[in-house]
Structure 1
């Protein structure tokens, strides 16, 4: 019988290491102090718009932020969400610390939420014409100026929540937060979204057929693809193209959703 290899025991964590780790946690926590706030849409718009041309606006876009990348249909859906009163993710900003005693501008650096702020700015400036809406279909082709006055006022009064890092947070902390927010989760794929948006007998049937042994043998999937609902995606495509291929409009995701 072969002898089992000698595996050295794992070194135990010492009390000194535990104390060092606890001290580091306490030290780093000091620079992630924050407040939560809630502001009406019109206030956030003014904080971003006033002084924008002179680069003196209170809501400030840092150099590491992305340009406007949302397409107009996604911008429109964000506006629709506000009108429907749906929960909107927090906007993260940081209170910029003064460079010296005579340079305290009390500006807020946008850490996460620039696409939402820019969308509000475009809509309230009548630069965004709503499109692709499926819940509020009658609002397609509307600009802000086309809304009745009462609806404009209600939209302006809708509130968005913010997390404000205090001026204790240095630039490294702000950039680290931005990276964590934007890499901390994996976006759902199309089939995962369909399960959440359109549950029911047909989605249940897709899941049942996706487990069919002959199908799995003919179309092998890795465990990672199974976890991403790829077999259900294949079954859905089979039915879609078999029964409805003449209506395919070159946009696979839209075609399958329909």
Structure 2
């Protein structure tokens, strides 16, 4: 591997090791029985696919593993090497879970196992990017294979048995067909990812809701120094939390009155809407992103990068707190007033995170309508008083046919 590639991989590993940023947990409101009635109609079956079969499916693009995901590779080279070693040794491999695409029989999106699949694709030289065709490293048992590439093993007659073992090992593969809606896949996705590494639902959303906006927001997050600074990174976030923050910001800024209390569904609909109307919305979305960048600069200047959207003494980035901060700081007049009076903003923030009402709104049922309204309204009203400005804040509204919703027609 070239020295420059090694340095890039080392830097990515350092980012992952040094960046202990964790998002505060967030659970959507429970689904109504009518919304889960069709769940029993979904068909789930499992079979043992050989590694050779899995690679063939990947090469034929039947399992979606597009270059956009490959740019967010989360595993370091040593982790990939140990995984390949396990395959060659015939160790059991954790299952992968696939969902068949609607209207595309035999084509799948990945709910669980992306990093394992990507490692297989890269090792055999069928991927893109600097890790394609990587050399084996980090081996603990088959140290005789250290530094070897797939191409070298393939050309060495003495390694034929190792290649046979590699291709013939099996991976338990669970396939979901006839899934009723995206809520079902989100439920499955989150149930699968209950371990120490919390995956972002945005990873699933990128596959479920493709389109011009979805591509745009991924590219924007990858190129954004602002979002990387916000998350304390120097590389794109492998969990796509950078993309999720941008989609979340745009959703609240543009579609808040349509929010029903289910964040994952809200963000899905935001992507669907902007994909459908991208020709009309592209310019205004770019302006919104420019306001986001300016707001992040201002908030970091006021709070400091390590303290932004965190409670005192915590390193945990709280998305619910960030909702309120970015919602108002993205307005130019409010932002200027905040940067002109940073001490007043800091004092207001300290009082807010000590207030039981605000604390509950950013820690408990943060996806629900009441607490979503409460944190936006609380911070907005307090900010008006501290800055001496007059602007609109979101308010609760009881709509006859829809129940309680958040009413908001713009800050001005």
Shorter-chain TM band: 0.5 to 0.7
Measure the CA separation in 1 of the matches of 2:79 and 2:149.
15
Equivalence map 1:209-228=2 (5 Å):
none
Alignment partner of 1:40 is 2:50: yes
Residues 28, 59 of structure 1: alpha-carbon distance in 2 compared, 3 angstrom cutoff: same
In the alignment, which residue of structure 2 is the partner of 1:144? 150
Higher normalized helix content (fraction of residues):
2
Structure 1 residues 104-253: aligned runs within 5 Å: 104-125=104-125, 127-147=133-153, 148-182=159-193, 184-186=194-196
Matching residue of 1:96:
101
Cα distance in 1 between the residues matched to 2:186 and 2:149 = 35
Structure 1 portions without partners, runs of 5+ = 1-20, 51-56, 99-103, 188-258
User: Are the aligned partners of 2:100 and 2:109 in contact in 1 as well (CA < 8 Å)?
Assistant: yes
Q: Distance in 2 between matches of 1:159 and 1:152?
A: 13
**Residues 113-153 of structure 1 deviation map (CA, whole Å, 9 limit, x = unaligned):** 11001100111117120011122111110111222223212
Q: Write the deviation string for residues 47-97 of structure 1: whole angstroms up to 9, x where unpaired.
A: 1112xxxxxx11014899782110000000111111122121110100112
- Deviating above 3 A after TM superposition, structure 1's stretches of 4 or more consecutive aligned residues are 23-26, 61-66
Aligned-pair distance for 1:180? 2.5
Aligned to 1:76: 81
SS in 2 for 1:30: helix
Specify the structure having the higher radius of gyration (Cα).
Answer: 1
Number of residue pairs the alignment of both structures matches: 155
RMSD: 2.8
Aligned 8 A contact 1:31 1:170 in 2? no
Question: Which residue number in structure 2 is paired with residue 9 of structure 1?
Answer: none
Asked if 2 retains the 8 angstrom alpha-carbon contact of 1:92 and 1:111, the reply is yes
Counterpart CA distance in 2 for 1:77 and 1:34 is 30
Alignment gaps of 5+ in structure 2: 1-30, 126-131, 154-158, 198-412
**Alpha-carbon separation, structure 1, partners of 2:177 and 2:54:** 18
SS in 2 for 1:68: coil
TM-score, reference length from structure 1: 0.53
* Matching residue of 1:202: none
The normalised TM-score by structure 2 is 0.34
Equivalent-residue separation in structure 1 for 2:66 and 2:180 (angstroms): 15
Q: Quote the residue 2:227 is aligned against.
A: none
